[in-house]
Amino acid sequence: MGVSTRFFFLLLLHSGTCFRRPQLILREIFSSGVLSLIIILVSGLFVGMVLGMQGYETLQTYGSEEALGVLVSLSLVRELGPVVAALLFASRAGSAITAEIGLMKATEQLAAMEMMAVDPLARVVAPRFWGGVISMPLLAAMFSAMGIFGGYLVGVVLIGVDEGSFWSQMQAAVDIREDILNGVIKSTVFGIAVTVIALFEGYDAPPTAEGVSRATTRTVVTSSLAILMLDFVLTAFMFRGV
């Protein structure tokens, strides 16, 4: 824990140099953000569709099917969007980051960089960090938007809930600052947590094949746990039922 905290501060200290070379960050946004697009969009759509179906079943018992839009949008924007997108991001991009850096270390590429007076923290680690932190909120927003569209597809197009009340009740219930901004804050925090864990595990991995494979597994397990725990803490701070 102490070592990873020190690693995090070193990382922040070294990120100044990578902002002078935005091309490096762009490359990392590509590999962790753009390449995660498909899984995020498809799973967002299906999560929204399932929410629409299950929500309709439950709401129907109380005769309030019109609240389906509220149910789908609030659960996506507040919780499922940031959390599920971050879990997918951890297993899709986090594991890739750990494996890449672990292999770089195992094949002594990082040591070679240091020999050439290139700081691997500034050249390799910091751009991956910022790429992940920038991608994560965007991915979560796309997940939520796609999920709401999925809920719309099932609720309105398939089942036949009234379209007007679906959207208008949603607009009345969702607050810009309270719900959407908090969702963005959550996903940014998750992005920081996932990328720091992935980078640290990769950087800290024993330089053997077994070590890299263990580090990759640990990244997925640790960051999933961290996401769920952070989610509880952030939710406790944000929505205290005031």
Single out the segment in contact with another protein by CB under 8 A; choices: 54-62, 95-103, 130-138, 193-201: 130-138
Among 80, 124, 133, 141, binds another protein (CB under 8 A): 141
Q: Does position 34 bind another protein by CB under 8 A?
A: yes
Q: Does position 184 bind another protein by CB under 8 A?
A: yes
Single-letter amino acid code for the residue at 29: I
Among 68, 124, 142, 226, binds another protein (CB under 8 A): 142
Single out the segment in contact with another protein by CB under 8 A; choices: 13-21, 25-33, 57-65, 207-215: 25-33
- The two three-digit tokens of residue 17, written as one number: 């140099």
Give min distance, CB of 25 to another protein, in A.
9
Complete DSSP assignment for 124-142: IIHHHHHHHHHHHHHHHHH
In the window 41-80, what residues touch another protein (CB under 8 A)? 73, 77
Q: Which of the 8 DSSP states describes residue 157?
A: I
Of 15 and 135, which CB lies nearer to another protein in the complex structure? Answer: 135
Q: Does position 179 bind another protein by CB under 8 A?
A: yes
Give min distance, CB of 24 to another protein, in A.
11
Single-letter amino acid code for the residue at 183: G
Give min distance, CB of 27 to another protein, in A.
6
Placement of tokens 């599920």 in the chain: 84
> How many residues form the binding site for another protein (CB under 8 A)?
31
With contact defined as beta carbons under 8 Å apart, do 48 and 68 qualify?
no
Of 37 and 158, which CB lies nearer to another protein in the complex structure? Answer: 37
With contact defined as beta carbons under 8 Å apart, do 212 and 103 qualify?
yes
Single out the segment in contact with another protein by CB under 8 A; choices: 4-12, 107-115, 165-173, 204-212: 165-173
- The two three-digit tokens of residue 111, written as one number: 């040591």
CA–CA gap between residue 167 and residue 148 (Å, rounded): 10
Single-letter amino acid code for the residue at 79: E
Total residue count of the chain as it appears in this document: 242
Q: Does position 29 bind another protein by CB under 8 A?
A: yes
For 132, how many CA atoms within 13 A lie in the half-sphere containing its CB? 29
Give min distance, CB of 200 to another protein, in A.
25
CA–CA gap between residue 19 and residue 35 (Å, rounded): 22
Segments in the chain forming alpha helices (H): 2-19, 22-28, 37-61, 68-74, 81-89, 95-106, 109-115, 120, 126-152, 163-173, 182-204, 209-238
Q: Which residues bind another protein (CB under 8 A)?
A: 23, 26-27, 29-30, 33-34, 37, 73, 77, 135, 137-139, 141-142, 144-146, 148, 167, 170-172, 174-176, 179-180, 184, 242
